[in-house]
Amino acid sequence: MPRRVGDSLYPTVLPERRISPLSRRQAIVALADARIALNTIANLVGRSLSSVRRWIRRAKGTGKLHDHARSGRPAIYPQEVRLRIVAFYCQTRPLPTCGRWTLRWAERRLQADHAAVGAAPSKSTLHRVLQSNRLKPHQSRYFLHITDPDFFPKMEHLVGLYRSPPANLIFFDECPGIQIRKRLTPDLQTDGMRKRLEEFEYIRHGTLDVLAFLHHADGKVHLECRADHKTDTFLAVFRRHANRFPQSEPLHYVMDNLSSHRGYPLCRLVAELSAVACPPEQQLCTTDKRAEWLAREDKRIVIHYTPYHGSWLNWIEFWFAIMGRKVLGESFGSPDELKAALEAFAADWNTHLAHPFQWSCDGSGLHEKAVKRFTKMLQSSAPQLELRILTKQMGLLTNLLRDYLSQVSKETWEQFADVLRSQSDTITELIEGEPGPRRKHNAQQAFTSLTEALHEYFAPTQQIAA
């Protein structure tokens, strides 16, 4: 509400807002330039008359509205100790191979052993040091590491498909193993309706699988709930969805690399629905050959596969996230109850909420990020790497060196080459310790190909040890 100041009405907005001191001082000067009375300015900005006069004088004299530098209280810990505190808290673990520091835990450990950082800071000091550097090592989030050696060609294919989509582009995936949980007591609403209380303990009533299709053109979803997602279940659901369209319309499906999505039974079904002859099973004897045939565009139904560890490229995953937030947090006493809720949400989505999703990511920066992440993994935890993941990573970087060299800076490649050279003995030990002959051969071949590709890139200026 406005209040009367002098002979006019002025709002009291400025003092009530959380504005910076500099902005407040700029307002004082601007109001003074507009010939507003000093007592009126003081009331508007919520400062005393002497403060208003002081800032007006300083603005006229020096033009500066910042506070003068102050010596402040001398720092208890020098910068060297503060850096050691940061290194201790962010780069060490409280237990030999695991654990995560808390402020109280770190305080007690440093009080017992001053040698770690050369001081015994309190809990509040630890917090201030971390906060001054904007560090929050207690926070974490999941990420999906790129492991497919052919990730980037597959990603480019899908991005091109999304930018120039066919008429019937459909995203498919399963959401398996959804737990059906009923809380022991109904939810309670607190006084004032501010918060809902949910019972912690629950009774489990099995699981349910959701198989869903998201249509690119309008964002509508076709959903089926089943007890499992075995091959026969998947094929029946796929057949019903494909039969919803006229026989003359081509269909493009995007899905992941689950075994049932690349099996010979799907090849037979796609051939039947496309009215073409299916090659004999001996001809499609591997998953790669079956995936290649399913992706061919000389038939009515075309399957486009996401890269391994590239589920975020499938748009149905975004809808599953929405479904999880809207439905799966509730209490259900049976599979039928959960099924009814999921089908009701899908129907309401298609009626009121469905919309075409917009794809904006083109993969810029992912090439360099993949190299940097693998460099960090090798540097910090090479002995803990699984050999199959290590093999795929080496294949990925070999392909980046040969096909996407300009997407990664030379400095990043130099850092990776240094780390690879320093960890070459560890990698060799991992390969030699592999009991499986085929996996051992693939790993050795990937390591050799990577070192040769680095030789070609740096030769003759730098030598990379195999």
178 and 284 part of one domain: yes
> Could you say which residues of the chain have pLDDT below 50?
1-16, 463-466
Q: How many CB atoms lie within 10 A of CB 286?
A: 9
**What's the pLDDT score for residue 336?**
92
**What's the pLDDT score for residue 80?**
92
349 and 245 part of one domain: yes
55 and 111 part of one domain: no
**What's the pLDDT score for residue 265?**
95
286 and 249 part of one domain: yes
**Cross-strand partners of 189:** 196
**What's the pLDDT score for residue 193?**
61
| Contact predicate 273/244, CB 8 Å | no
290 and 316 part of one domain: yes
Q: Which of 288, 318, 353 is the last residue in one of the domains?
A: 353
Q: Where in the sequence is the domain holding 437, given as residue range(s)?
A: 366-458
**What's the pLDDT score for residue 194?**
66
| Contact predicate 155/307, CB 8 Å | yes
25's CB contacts (< 8 A; 6+ apart) are 55, 59, 65
Q: Which of 353, 388, 405 is the last residue in one of the domains?
A: 353
**What's the pLDDT score for residue 26?**
86
The structure tokens 């051939």 sit at 271
425 and 317 part of one domain: no
Determine what percent of the chain falls in helix, strand and coil, rounding each to the nearest 5: 50, 10, 35
158 and 305 part of one domain: yes
Number of domains forming the structure of the chain: 4
CATH of the domain at 218: 3.30.420.10
**What's the pLDDT score for residue 311?**
87
350's CB contacts (< 8 A; 6+ apart) are 220, 221
**What's the pLDDT score for residue 460?**
54
| Contact predicate 254/391, CB 8 Å | no
Would you say residue 24 lies in a domain? yes
